Amino acid sequence: MRQAVREKLARMSNDEQILLRPLVETSRSFYVVAALLAAITLWGMFAYYVQVTYGLGRTGLNRPSYWGIYIICFVFFIGISHAGTLISAILRVSKAEWRRSITRSAELITVLVIGFGAIQPITDLGRPDRVLNVIFHAQLSSPLLWDVTSIGLYFISCTIYLYIPMLPDLAIIRDSGIKAPRLYRFLAAGYRDTPAQRARLERVIGVLSIIVIPIAVSVHTVIGWIFAMTLRPMWHSTIFGPYFVMGAIYSGIAAILVAMVVLRRAFGLQQYFKDIHFDYLGRLLLLFSLLWFYFTFAEYLTAFYGGEPGEMRAFWSKLTGPFAIPFWTMVLGCFVIPLSLMSRRSMRTPRGTLIAGIAVMIGMWLERFNIVVPTSVNPRWEIESIGQYLPSWVELSIMAATFSGFTLLYMLATKFVPIVSIWEIKEGREHSVREVADRVAEYLPESA
Amino acid sequence: MARWGMVIDLDRCTGCAACEVACKSENNVAAVSADQADMGRASSWMKVMAHVEGEFPDTTMHFYPRPCMHCDNPPCIRVCPVQATYIDDEGIVGQIYARCIGCRYCANACPYMVKYFNWYGPEWSESERQHLNPDVSVRPTGVIEKCTFCHHRLQKAREDARADGRELREEDYQPACADVCPTNAIAFGDLDNPSHAVHSLKADPRVLRLMEDLGTQPKVYYLRPRE
């Protein structure tokens, strides 16, 4: 860090010093990790080059396993995206004060992960060069088109929802002059934090946080409907819309927890991501592990009780057949581990939630696997059920690159914006403490 | 307006697979290597399925030649995001190869699994290349293809009939599989035209359609084998 920058930083408030430090100071290990992630991402891009050059034959896909890793990752990543926006919007709307230090990191996950999720189905296309036909020859009755519309709208609204609450922080960086003055003058868009501007800002955030909730719900509902609208065993199910939304929020909470643990460690944010945050988010994870069990149980019981031969082939292939390992690992990751850990207070710590969060993310990836692959290889057309699916190195490389590419961009973003919202913390200190006390007093009967 | 359909008599089918070969040759369906075929990547618009019933040694084997069912209510066309698969006025379900983006949603939606994907571009040896049918477009890599009831033959038959100044006759338009079947197991024609064989055959008591309960209304009928 240059001397001039250090002096500028020293003149700022304590919050600003801690939260802006990552923007101007980069550790050696950051570069090492970033280089590693960049290498994996480049490798994945090479794999995609191979796929485009030779054709989708370079994947492990076949007939009847038309969909595989790419579609699984698509559902998984768009699911993770429910981390930010939905959680932060719901917490904002419900005036949950503990949200203040976690909203920014969560919203950033959302925006980046939608991008990485949305490229998955394009990677899956046989003719990516014709992707714009989705606009030129759009057929509204196709659930894929509902998806394009919904995800497009979601990406735009989430980007705005990330950017608008960032304005005051961008103005702080611009005024401090610690980094790229021109860039931040442009990004801060003339925000001066006047009372009029602040009032307008809060009103826009209030409206946005209500708008993004139904959009977020629609996104994963529609993704569930891609499967549910076909007549295939274990796909054609009315529960899929809500089941997917619930699963998406679940994996999203897990992703936030993992990100928070890493950020806290990497940037020394113990004062911002406190034990209480892990406790609260851990409780939320516990609630969703129970919801997950409820939905999954309802889905499988309905299929089993009906006992239709086509359904049963897919059903038993998961419970006891060739997909028993991914199926029961999913149950372990989505239910047993998070339930047993998060039901104990002593485990709702950074360490405990990290373990539960990773288990849930693995479990939720497997859930998508268990939806896509067993049904694909067990078509209703029994005479020809010759299904098998083994992903090729191309698919696995692209999947690895998606994970590394996302992590890399997230790391880079922490070098440009404070990962905890400075102004919201400040506002919490200056106003909310009193406001909440007043609000609670309002709930109570007037004292005589 | 005609409604083209097919009636396949399973009692007559010997499983010789001449229909399969005729179809591949008529429609320029490229062969794939044995490795690719083992992976489930061979295309066969018409495929003779063998169905074994009973326990060894008391088994009976039936053959089901299976083209596209050309459903009147096709699940494949609704899901296509780019309208690349369509049903025309005469009930033939077709695919626009130049528009298809290769998402394979239709292939997943089809319960009969008759939509085939081009995992690689087609390859022919030099000798095969000389025999490609100029009436049928060759599909590029990355798109879905399917049985078309040889609708290029319909086009040609119509033009010929018009040139001769007469109505289209039943024998003018027959797909390659029906044309070549040595036992005449495959009848093809206008299901709504009483003068066509398929019109009366589809009223036979032995008639069945595959997965009819799904409401897809297939226009390919089978005549159940007599015991």
Domains defined along chain A, listed by start: 3-26+61-389+415-433 (1.20.1630.10)
CB contact under 8 A, B119 and A142: no
The yes/no answer to whether this complex scores an ipTM above 0.85 is yes
pLDDT at residue A206, as a whole number: 93
Using a pLDDT cut of 90, give the percent of chain A over it.
Answer: 80
Distance from the Cα of B216 to chain A's closest Cα (Å) equals: 10
Q: How far is A149 from chain B (nearest CA, A)?
A: 11
- Listed in sequence order, the residues at least 6 apart from A202 whose beta carbon sits closer than 8 Å to its beta carbon are none
Shortest CB distance from B81 goes to which of A144, A232, A381? A144
Band (A416; pLDDT cuts 50, 70, 90): very high
Of A65, A125, A232, the CB nearest to B103: A125
CB A139 within 8 A of CB B82: yes
pLDDT of residue A84: 80
Q: What is the mean pLDDT of residues B72-79?
A: 95
Both tokens of A199, joined, read: 């009032």
Task: With CB atoms and an 8 Å threshold, state whether A381 touches B112.
Answer: yes
In angstroms, rounded to a whole number, what is the distance separating the alpha carbons of residues A265 and A272? 11
The pLDDT score that the predictor gives to residue A354 is: 96
pLDDT (average), residues A170-174: 93
- Are the beta carbons of B41 and A380 separated by less than 8 Å? no
Is residue A386 scored above 70 in pLDDT?
A: no
Per DSSP, the residues of A408-428 read HHHHHHTTTS-SS-HHHHHHI
| Cβ <8 Å between B211 and A121 | no
Q: Closest Cα to residue A313, out of A390, A363, A386, A244? A: A386
* pLDDT mean over B137-142: 94
Pick from A332, A386, A385: nearest CA to A362: A332
| Cβ atoms of A60 and A396 closer than 8 Å | no
Considering only CB atoms, A131 lies closest to which of B101, B111, B143, namely B101
What average pLDDT does the structure give for chain A?
93
What average pLDDT does the segment A16-35 reach?
A: 92
Burial environment of residue A432 by CB neighbours within 10 A (0 to 12, 13 to 18, 19 or more): middle
Interface size, chain A vs chain B, as Cβ–Cβ contacts under 8 Å? 133
Check if B122 contacts A (Cβ < 8 Å).
Answer: no
Note whether A379 contacts B113, CB cutoff 8 Å.
yes
Q: Do A64 and B101 touch (CB under 8 A)?
A: no
Q: Do B99 and A130 touch (CB under 8 A)?
A: yes
Please compute the mean of the pLDDT values over residues A132-146 and round it to a whole number: 94
Report the residue of A61, A148, A231 to disrupt the B interface, i.e. the one with the largest count of B CBs within 10 Å. A231
pLDDT at A1: 62
**A121, A133, A380: residue with CB nearest B99:** A133
Backbone angles phi, psi at B114, to 5 degrees: -105, 10
CA A267, CA A33: separation in Å to the nearest integer? 15
Write the residue in A63, A67, A134 that is nearest to B41 by C-beta.
Answer: A63
Q: Do A379 and B111 touch (CB under 8 A)?
A: yes
Q: Chain B residues with CB inside 8 Å of A139's CB?
A: 80-83
Query: How far, CA to CA in Å, does A153 sit from each of A87, A118, A130?
Result: 18, 12, 21
pLDDT on residue A388: 85
Kindly indicate whether the domain formed by B4-223 is annotated with CATH number 3.30.70.1450.
Answer: no
Tens-place pLDDT, residues A287-333? 999 999 999 999 999 999 999 988 999 999 999 999 999 999 999 99
Contacting residues of A for B109, CB less than 8 Å apart = 229-232
Which candidate in A66, A125, A236, A392 is best for mutational testing of the B interface (most B CBs within 10 A)?
A66
Q: What is the mean pLDDT of residues B35-46?
A: 92
Q: Smallest Cβ distance to A133: which of B101, B112, B116?
A: B101
pLDDT of residue B61: 85
- Report the C-alpha gap between B210 and B221 in whole angstroms: 8
Note whether A66 contacts B107, CB cutoff 8 Å. yes
Contact state of A57 with B117 under an 8 Å Cβ cutoff: no
Q: Average pLDDT, stretch A70-84?
A: 93
A138/chain B closest Cα distance in angstroms: 5
pLDDT at A83 over 90: no
B143/A63 Cβ within 8 A? no
On the question of pLDDT at A383 being above 70, the answer is: no
- A448 pLDDT above the threshold of 70: no
Query: What is the average pLDDT across A121-134?
Result: 95
Quick check: B149 pLDDT over 90? yes
Question: What pLDDT does residue A88 have?
Answer: 86
Q: Quick check: A436 pLDDT over 70?
A: yes
Per residue in A252-262, pLDDT (tens digit) is 999 999 999 99
Q: Which of A273, A228, A279 is nearest to A421 (CA)?
A: A273
User: Cα separation of B154 and B135, whole Å?
Assistant: 11
Query: Which residues share a beta bridge with B94?
Result: B86
Give pLDDT, residue A2.
76
Cβ(A117)–Cβ(A73) below 8 Å: yes
pLDDT attached to residue A385 = 58
Of the candidates B108, B120, B140, which has its C-beta nearest A66's C-beta? B108
Mean of the pLDDT values across residues A149-167?
Answer: 94
**In this predicted structure, what is the pLDDT of residue B106?**
96
Comparing alpha-carbon positions, the chain A residue that sits nearest to B142 is: A126
Query: Which residue has 């702080």 as its token pair?
Result: A172
Q: Which residue of B has its CA nearest to A149?
A: B81
Q: Do B119 and A144 lie within an 8 Å CB cutoff?
A: no
Rounded (5°) CA angle B224-B226-B227: 125
Is the Cβ of B116 closer than 8 Å to some Cβ of chain A? yes
- Report the alpha-carbon distance of residue B47 to residue B67 in Å, rounded: 6
Mean pLDDT of A411-440: 92
Q: What length is written for chain A?
A: 448
Distance in angstroms (rounded) separating the CA atoms of residues A293 and A3: 56
Q: Answer whether B41 sits within 8 Å of A143, measured CB to CB.
A: no
Per the listing, tokens 């409820």 go with A294
Q: How far does A227 lie from chain B, in Å, by closest CA?
A: 9
